[in-house]
């Protein structure tokens, strides 16, 4: 038993990979990806190279790995997933308020004015 615990502490990605590999987690991620509101990056709005980001990492909370409330869509380029979702470090960091940051990013600059988009996307 202690050997397994020691192994998990030395190899945290083992737990993460096995939780992500479970079929119900994969299915939940696919369903999340297919929802119409998840066709663009929540940060920059791009519609290419999208990835499902777990807000609370699977390694910390494997029980909520399939929860759609724990997922947000971020793109790989220009590195929104790494920079916005993981604060620049996939292995050690995560941003727990990433949804709030993405909501607050829905602003546009017009001259010296900065206006926030409403929920319809209209200024």
**CB neighbour class for 66 (10 Å; exposed up to 12, middle 13-18, buried from 19):** buried
Check residues 108 and 2 and name the one with the higher pLDDT.
2
Check residues 16 and 112 and name the one with the higher pLDDT.
16
The tokens of 67 are what? 């929860």
Kindly report the average pLDDT of the chain as a whole number.
Answer: 78
CA distances in angstroms from 7 to 3, 18, 78, listed in the order given = 6, 14, 35
pTM over 0.75: no
Per the CB < 8 A criterion, the answer to whether 99 and 105 are in contact is no
Look at residue 123 and tell me whether its pLDDT is greater than 50: no
Q: Where are the alpha helices (DSSP H) in the chain?
A: 2-10, 12-21, 23-34, 80, 86, 98-104
Question: pLDDT tens for residues 18-39?
Answer: 655 678 888 999 999 999 999 9
Question: pLDDT tens for residues 59-80?
Answer: 888 889 899 999 999 998 778 8
Q: What percent of the chain has pLDDT over 90?
A: 30
Name the 3-class secondary structure at 82: helix
What confidence tier does 103 reach under pLDDT thresholds 50, 70, 90?
confident
pLDDT at residue number 122: 44
């Amino acid at each position: 038993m202690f050997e397994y615990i020691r192994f998990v502490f030395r190899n945290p990605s083992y737990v993460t990979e096995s939780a992500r590999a479970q079929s119900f987690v994969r299915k939940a991620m696919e369903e999340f990806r297919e929802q119409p509101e998840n066709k663009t990056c929540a940060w920059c709005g791009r519609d290419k190279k999208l990835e499902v980001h777990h807000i609370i990492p699977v390694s910390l909370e494997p029980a909520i790995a399939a929860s759609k409330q724990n997922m947000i869509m971020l793109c790989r380029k220009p590195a929104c997933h790494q920079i916005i979702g993981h604060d620049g470090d996939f292995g050690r960091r995560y941003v727990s308020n990433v949804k709030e940051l993405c909501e607050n990013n829905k602003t546009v600059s017009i001259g010296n004015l900065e206006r926030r988009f409403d929920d319809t996307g209209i200024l």
